[in-house]
Each structure stands twice: as structure tokens, then as C-alpha cells.
Structure 1
Amino acid sequence: MMFNYPNGKKYTATSPLPQQLGRPRRTVESYGNRGMTLEDDLNETNLYYLSRGIAVIHKKPVPIQIVQVDYPKRSAAVIKEAYFKQASTTDYNGVYKGRYIDFEAKETQNTSSFPLKNFHDHQIHHMEAVLKQGGIAFVILRFSSTDEYFLLDAGPLLKFWERMELGGRKSITKNEILETGIPIPFGFQPRIDYLKTVDELYDLSE
């Protein structure tokens, strides 16, 4: 299936599409080797928060314009071509303890750094705008090869982005993430309890 941006530029996927149409779900083999994506884990975590009245946080839908659909069978339709109606901002937003929360989720196979190419200009500008309005903005980073999760506030991320734009390195080193971010432990229910880290980082503990 082919997707294009509103300006006609072809979309190159760096992560699963929001709708993940036809994406086979990987099998969970064990607690240590879960086989789930970061998005899967966050979606389950957010359902846990919602069902227990902890927070209301959802993945943002990305509107698309379907251009071409094939019907190989009467009971099945295959989308062959579609366009994003507008550039997406961040992955998730919602409300927690009366505060607006907005965040992006990214993962990488790299072990020593996190490439900034995983982010887009409009996402960075969006998080900057959220901060200016007094909201909470951050990114959840996953090093998939080592199954490590970190919460990085948008403030340091903006500085790393500015460094790149000024000709500096095009990634955030693992040491920089350890210094400016906070590790998120993996659990069972919820799978990624990132709101405990939000409490710690933004002093929201009661």
C-alpha cells in the first residue's frame, strides 16, 4: 500500500502506520522476549490507566484520504493508495491529574545513540508549542535491542534538535539519555508505567 503526504511526497515508514492495516501481530514468546512493539505496549498501558480511572490518554488518529481501493474478494477490500490529509503531530495526548500531556513514542535498533532523524520538524515545533502553553510534553524512547525504555522531557530534546540544526551531531548519545532522561521499568500491569515517571519528573505525586 502506498501513502503520500498532502504535497504529493511519498511517505516512507519509519514506524508502523497508525491504523496498522493488515499488520500481522508478532507473537509474544515470553515475558523476557515479548515480541510486541512500543506502540502495542503503550496502547495496553493506556487502556489500563483508563479502565482504572488513572488517566485519559489516547493515541491520536491520523486522517487519511483513500484514493484507490481494490476488491480482490467480495468480503475484503485492499487499500492500494492513500494520502495523509495533514502532517501528524505527536502520537499520544490526554489528561492526567488535571494536566495536559502530549508525547511521542520512538524506538531504535541502535545501542549507543538515538537518531534524531526519527523525529520530524512539525513534531518538534508541536512539542515546543505545548510547553509554551504550560502543558507536559515528552518522548518515550525504546532501545529495542536491549529492551530499555526512557522518558525524555521535551526541553532537553529541543536542545539536542537545535544542536543538530547548528551543525552538531545528528543523534542523542546513550550517555546523554541516561543523564537527561529517566528509565521506565517494564512490568505486567501496566506494561510501561510511564505515569510514575511523569510523577517523578514533573512533581505530580500526591
Structure 2
Amino acid sequence: MNFHYPNGRRYLQPTEPPKGIRNLEKKISYSNRGMTLEDDLNITNRYYLEKNIAVIHKKPTPVQIVNVDYPKRSAAVIKEAYFKQASTTDYNGIYKGRYIDFEAKETKFLTSFPLKNFHEHQIKHMKSVLTHGGICFVILRFSTNEKVYFLPAEHLLAYWDRMESGGRKSISIDEINEYGHLLPLGYQPRIDYIKIIDYLYKF
């Protein structure tokens, strides 16, 4: 079966390592610098769910099916499909009765975070969440030095508006340090962003 990204590029599924190697990778994953931000957040959200702290999930990526084969009347095989561009953010859920909504992004840059990593429809969605009283933020990871930050959406929106008005097209690391909150990597949970929510919203 062939999957394609919105830009038409073919999606190549990673090769699954042998079971013994998978188990070994699982044991060292918490100290492994090769983990993606999505991996870390999925582990964190699973911890929150198991400990009955919060219910937060990654939204499924919408898929458009374009070619289906029917080898039998009772079975259908998808031959080709495309990942559609998501219209909102990556994660949402509920914590202590409040709606939680956030986006997670990574960059290899050290001194700034490019705003081109975000899409206009995501910015509009975050504005709507804030308008309706939800808690909205972004989690930014600098993959080169493994630093992860929690940045409230209102600050991201201000920097986006600055760009739209002809200003710089990125958020400087000094601005992120001033208005964001560093999230040290831990074991359980891996990225404890709930701690920042408690601090900011006085839960």
C-alpha cells in the first residue's frame, strides 16, 4: 500500500527491528537522544492517562484513500492513500475540567525557532481555542541541544502577528527564554508539561 504526504512525497514506513533489539531500545529509550518529540509526548501522555492525571491524546492524521482493491467480496485492500494536511493542532484533551490544546514542533537551529514551522490554519485554530477559554500552548524542541520549552499560545500569536506586519520570521532564543518555560527531560513523566500548566493557571 502506498501512502503520500500532502506535498505528494511518498511515505516510507520505517523498518521494524527484531523483537530482541526492540526490547533493548525500549530499555534505553529514556536516555536516548534519538527519540523524537512525538515519542516523548506520547510516553508522557500515556503516563498521565495511567496515573489518572489527564486525558490527552494525539489527534489522528486524516487520510484520503484514492485506490482500493477488492480481491474478495468480503475484503478490501487499500492500495494508495494520501496523508491530508491536518486542520488543527497535534494534541488535545482535558485536565481538571479544562480543555487542553497544543502543537509540538522541532528545529535543528540553536538561536531561533522558525515561524514557518507553523501553518496559518493552526494559528487560527489556536486563536479560537483561546477565545473560548481553552488552555493552548506549543511545545518547542531544539533537537541539537535537546532543550524543550513550553510557550503559551498568546506569545506565539504575538510573534506571528509581528511577522505578518513585516517583522522577523522567527522567535529568538532570548524571547523563548523570557516568555517560555524550560521543560527538563525526566523519566516519569518524560516531558512534564502539566507542571507548567499548574504553575501558570494556579491549579
Q: The TM-score by the shorter chain falls in which range?
A: 0.7 to 0.9
Partner secondary structure for residue 56 of structure 2: strand
| TM-score (norm. length: structure 1) | 0.82
In structure 2, stretches of 5+ residues that fail to align are 18-24, 70-76
The whole-number CA distance in structure 1 between the counterparts of 2:167 and 2:9 is 25
Q: Which residue pairs with 2:82 in the alignment?
A: 82
Structure possessing the higher radius of gyration over alpha carbons: 2
Shift of residue 162, structure 1, vs aligned partner: 0.2
Whether the 8 Å contact between 1:48 and 1:190 is mirrored in structure 2 is yes
AA aligned opposite 2:105 = K
Q: Which residue pairs with 1:74 in the alignment?
A: none
The whole-number CA distance in structure 1 between the counterparts of 2:159 and 2:34 is 30
Q: Which residue pairs with 2:43 in the alignment?
A: 44
Between the two proteins, the alignment pairs up a number of residues equal to: 187
1:22 and 2:17 are equivalent in the alignment = no
Query: CA, structure 1 residues 87+59, in 2 after alignment: closer, same or farther (shift >3 Å)?
Result: closer
Higher helix share: 2
The whole-number CA distance in structure 2 between the counterparts of 1:46 and 1:169 is 34
AA aligned opposite 2:122 = Q
Whether the 8 Å contact between 2:150 and 2:180 is mirrored in structure 1 is yes
Shift of residue 32, structure 1, vs aligned partner: 4.3
Shift of residue 159, structure 1, vs aligned partner: 0.3
Query: CA, structure 1 residues 25+186, in 2 after alignment: closer, same or farther (shift >3 Å)?
Result: farther
Query: CA, structure 1 residues 161+48, in 2 after alignment: closer, same or farther (shift >3 Å)?
Result: same
In structure 1, stretches of 5+ residues that fail to align are 5-9, 14-19, 71-76
Q: Which residue pairs with 1:158 in the alignment?
A: 157
CA RMSD of aligned residues (A): 2.5
Partner secondary structure for residue 5 of structure 2: strand
Partner secondary structure for residue 22 of structure 1: coil
Whether the 8 Å contact between 1:64 and 1:83 is mirrored in structure 2 is yes
| TM-score (norm. length: structure 2) | 0.83
